[in-house]
Structure 1
């Protein structure tokens, strides 16, 4: 049933029942049952001459997430303060499958336009906001990703062997923050720190994108210290909310 949602989500326009039937290779009766359940739940809807699209329940769930997710609720005031202190765009990201998803954004910049507003995914191997998450993922997950995407790791300058990739990620992890220049958006610098849950597992990243390149190392360090401090506040906040 989730595959029906995935297919509709990936489509740039509506899909007819027959188009979904061809793509999913389900029996007609099974697909009909899935479509009926999803439609009744409001997760998909159909429009005349357009086919099936995501339904209004998705918008309702997005609102509930923005107002009830402990991570987002804890992060909003911290992100707003960071954006006031350091001009730029502050992002809260979470790992989602084998990519990183922006779940909240604060701040703005007149020097560049950020294409990673809420709900937009980011490449897992590029950009500080993603790489800091990657650096804290389990070694088994890293090994699996490297086996599947070896060329991408090399292109992202993370290493041309699994041992080198692990060494690069260990350096990022030990430093406690990451910085990248122009890896996702040209002419900008991204600085990110990890966010952890109450058990010390990585749940996401807090980052700021600054509209300039070739920043001096001392300036990067000052911003990184502030971003790391803010990420630590968020980690502590969600840990307290999880406590019995």
Structure 2
């Protein structure tokens, strides 16, 4: 890695599985192996840019610039602006929770949520990341992943694919994902949270490339086929509205 990549690598320490809120200089030194002079130089640059901040007895944390950028994304992101009205209607009509997700590397990131019920609460809130292999919102994106990216992902996570029910081989996974594409939507029951059903459809950009998904979470894991199909048709319609709005923006 070059020096810029190493410096930005400090931000990855706040994206680890242990959900670290703060990191000390000693922890950074132990985990990254940078010399202390290099480490302090990187920290000064990131702090001056507002990307990191520090407290003497706590360590380094994500800085105020991150908060400012998040506000600008929430208020100005074209995808969120296109999705918010249809998500509000969808959540209200079916008394569920509508989620807008974006693909992030080989994961899925929730970028917006609208709730139409107090009966359930989704822990999959804005800013939370989840595997591409679990949940309707994720699988709706995975189904349209370009072939070379799917091959790479499967090569890195063969056992995870198997455990998630995608079969023994890449060929098995492709066959299942092809079925999802042909249907145009994905549903899962209790895959992420017991007792809940997720229904999701893909969202595409102006080049018809997959960028995310629109999903609806419902407090019922045993919807009969007709009800499921009717709701899925509406979710798919709303996802298409978002895709077309983005294309014409």
Shared fold, TM over 0.5:
yes
Give the whole-Å Cα distance in 2 for the aligned partners of 1:87 and 1:166: 33
Q: Is the CA contact (8 Å cut-off) linking 2:13 and 2:20 kept in structure 1?
A: no
| Selected match of 1:133 from 141, 150, 154 | 141
What's the secondary structure of 1:12's corresponding residue? coil
Q: Is the CA contact (8 Å cut-off) linking 2:94 and 2:116 kept in structure 1?
A: no
Q: In the alignment, which residue of structure 1 is the partner of 2:39?
A: 31
> Alignment RMSD, CA only?
1.1
Q: In the alignment, which residue of structure 1 is the partner of 2:95?
A: 87
What's the secondary structure of 2:101's corresponding residue? strand
What's the secondary structure of 1:192's corresponding residue? strand
Q: In the alignment, which residue of structure 2 is the partner of 1:4?
A: 10
Q: Is the CA contact (8 Å cut-off) linking 2:215 and 2:235 kept in structure 1?
A: yes
TM-score, structure 1 as length reference: 0.95
Give the whole-Å Cα distance in 2 for the aligned partners of 1:146 and 1:111: 37
TM-score, structure 2 as length reference: 0.94
Moved over 4 A (4+): none
| Unpaired segments ≥5 residues, structure 1 | none
Q: Is 2:205 aligned against 1:171? A: no
What's the secondary structure of 1:130's corresponding residue? helix
Structure 1 position 177, deviation (Å): 0.5
Q: Is the CA contact (8 Å cut-off) linking 1:8 and 1:52 kept in structure 2?
A: no
Q: Is 2:110 aligned against 1:102? A: yes
Give the direction of change, closer, same or farther, for the CA distance of 1:108–1:12 in structure 2 (3 Å limit).
farther
Q: Is the CA contact (8 Å cut-off) linking 1:94 and 1:100 kept in structure 2?
A: yes
| Selected match of 1:124 from 124, 128, 132 | 132
Give the whole-Å Cα distance in 1 for the aligned partners of 2:15 and 2:155: 27
Q: In the alignment, which residue of structure 2 is the partner of 1:211?
A: 219
Give the whole-Å Cα distance in 1 for the aligned partners of 2:91 and 2:39: 47
Structure 1 position 108, deviation (Å): 4.2
| Selected match of 1:19 from 11, 16, 27 | 27
Q: Is 2:48 aligned against 1:40? A: yes
Give the whole-Å Cα distance in 2 for the aligned partners of 1:103 and 1:231: 15
What's the secondary structure of 1:112's corresponding residue? coil
| Selected match of 1:142 from 133, 150, 157 | 150
Q: 1:53-64 counterparts in 2 under 5 A?
A: 53-64=61-72
